[in-house]
Chains A and B, each alone.
Chain A
Amino acid sequence: MWPIEEIPNRDTLYYRIHQSYLIRGELKPGAFREIGDSMSTDWSKYSTPSDSRSRAKKPEQNGIISLKVGSLRQLKLTVVHAPSEDNKSHSLVKGVDEVEIRLKLLYKLRDTADDHIQWEIHPMATN
């Protein structure tokens, strides 16, 4: 098993978004959701956007966004490294389900001038 490390604020997490979370070209706020008690992501230290996408059941139906760890912590979200046997990069973000957080994450992603959260691979993009 991999050791648990501290994730620095300057690093990035990759989050997978299925194409069903887009409608009429717009991302739904429900795209940001916790499974269990946290949102599952991959740490950039051990993963690339492509790696993260390839972990989906149907990679071609998924996109990847990047989230700066410091920006998430500014929103008072908890970010922890939680490696699993087959994914050393696996990391958790806790507190995402609150409406305030989901709304702010959505707007940060929509704001093209804000590079703290942005698309790395768009769901509509083809390989």
Chain B
Amino acid sequence: MVVSTVVSRDVQPNGYRLSGKANGINPSHISMRRNDTLLSSGWHPFNYSVDHKNLITTYGIIADPSFVINGINDLSSGHQSTHVVVKLDSLQQVELPAELGEIAQAIEESKYILELTDNFDEEDAKACEFATWERAVQFLVEYSKWVFKSFHYVIDRPQIYDGPHGSIDMLWGTDRYRWLINFPEDRTQPASFYGDDFKLDQIKGTFNPSIDSRRVFMFLLGTN
């Protein structure tokens, strides 16, 4: 089942009312995660509107959050939703396990890159082409899925930015490590990376994101 990652919010006296589409199922609980990742995801009971086929719940917290739906329990079938889908363009989409909802959100938020035009900084910066962004996104999708499947581990959510000279930067930053991968515009050139734990452990190098280079990035499994 496809679950929308878009959740709209209305401010209510006792918190935020969240709503989102769930393809007309009869849901009992949803799993949500805040975009800042400080709150762990969990299953939350909620009401739904049959007429509108919307999920509606009230989440009473003080801060101003945005949310992503990680999964939905289907009351009628007893099955939990399993995937989130991100559209790359009108023809292509990628599918991720529901547990990787934050990765999907990172990709969604990076779509601003595709709207940049040349000279966006008034200093002749080169805009990023779709193919470069897609190459980086496909790496992230394949890598995060491989880690999840192999180790049942959800990698930290990166930030995806426009980089220098039409490239893409993918940045991970936690209190344990920092990590930057650059995907160049020229597909014949390798991606380059550097990461460290703010102490003695560091790694840098290049790799071809188009082939199986996933084991290079075991570092992202954490340093604990």
* Chain A residues near B (Cβ < 8 Å): 18, 20-21, 23, 26, 28-30, 32-35, 56-58, 61, 97-100, 102-103, 107
Residues in A whose Cβ lies below 8 Å from that of B182: 99
Known contacts A23-B161, A33-B164; decide if A99 and B192 are in contact (CB<8 Å): yes
The 6 tightest CB contacts between A and B, nearest first, are A33-B164, A100-B194, A18-B121, A28-B161, A103-B180, A30-B163
Give chain A nearest CB distance to B196 CB in angstroms.
8
In contact, B161 and A20 (Cβ under 8 angstroms):
no
B interface, by DSSP: helix, strand, loop or mixed? strand
| Chain B residue nearest in CB terms to A29 | B169
Residues in B whose Cβ lies below 8 Å from that of A28: 161-163, 169
In contact, B124 and A18 (Cβ under 8 angstroms):
no
Task: List 8 contacting pairs A-B, 8 Å CB cutoff, sorted by A.
Answer: A18-B122, A20-B125, A32-B164, A99-B192, A99-B193, A103-B171, A103-B180, A107-B173
**Counting CB contacts under 8 A, is B138 at the interface?**
no
In contact, A29 and B163 (Cβ under 8 angstroms):
yes
Residues in A whose Cβ lies below 8 Å from that of B204: 99-100
Of B112, B121, B178, which one neighbours A107 at CB under 8 angstroms? Answer: B178
Q: How far is the CA of A33 from the CA of B112 in the complex (A)?
A: 20
In contact, A30 and B122 (Cβ under 8 angstroms):
no
Most-contacted residue by chain A among B112, B123, B192, B204 (CB, 10 A): B123
Known contacts A23-B161, A102-B180; decide if A29 and B171 are in contact (CB<8 Å): yes
Residues in B whose Cβ lies below 8 Å from that of A29: 161, 163, 169, 171, 180
In contact, B122 and A103 (Cβ under 8 angstroms):
no
Q: How far is the CA of A3 from the CA of B116 in the complex (A)?
A: 40
Give chain A nearest CB distance to B150 CB in angstroms.
26
Q: How far is the CA of A2 from the CA of B178 in the complex (A)?
A: 42
Task: State which size class the interface on B falls in.
Answer: 20 to 34
| Chain B residue nearest in CB terms to A102 | B180
In contact, B178 and A103 (Cβ under 8 angstroms):
yes
Give chain B nearest CB distance to A56 CB in angstroms.
7
Q: How far is the CA of A21 from the CA of B121 in the complex (A)?
A: 8
**Counting CB contacts under 8 A, is B165 at the interface?**
yes
Residues in B whose Cβ lies below 8 Å from that of A30: 161-164, 167, 169
Give chain A nearest CB distance to B48 CB in angstroms.
31
Residues in A whose Cβ lies below 8 Å from that of B165: 33, 97
Most-contacted residue by chain A among B121, B167, B180, B194 (CB, 10 A): B121
Give chain B nearest CB distance to A20 CB in angstroms.
5
Residues in B whose Cβ lies below 8 Å from that of A18: 121-123
Known contacts A29-B171, A30-B161, A107-B178; decide if A20 and B120 are in contact (CB<8 Å): yes
In contact, B164 and A99 (Cβ under 8 angstroms):
no
Q: How far is the CA of A125 from the CA of B162 in the complex (A)?
A: 23
Give chain B nearest CB distance to A74 CB in angstroms.
16
Q: How far is the CA of A100 from the CA of B192 in the complex (A)?
A: 9
Q: How far is the CA of A51 from the CA of B16 in the complex (A)?
A: 47
Q: How far is the CA of A34 from the CA of B122 in the complex (A)?
A: 15
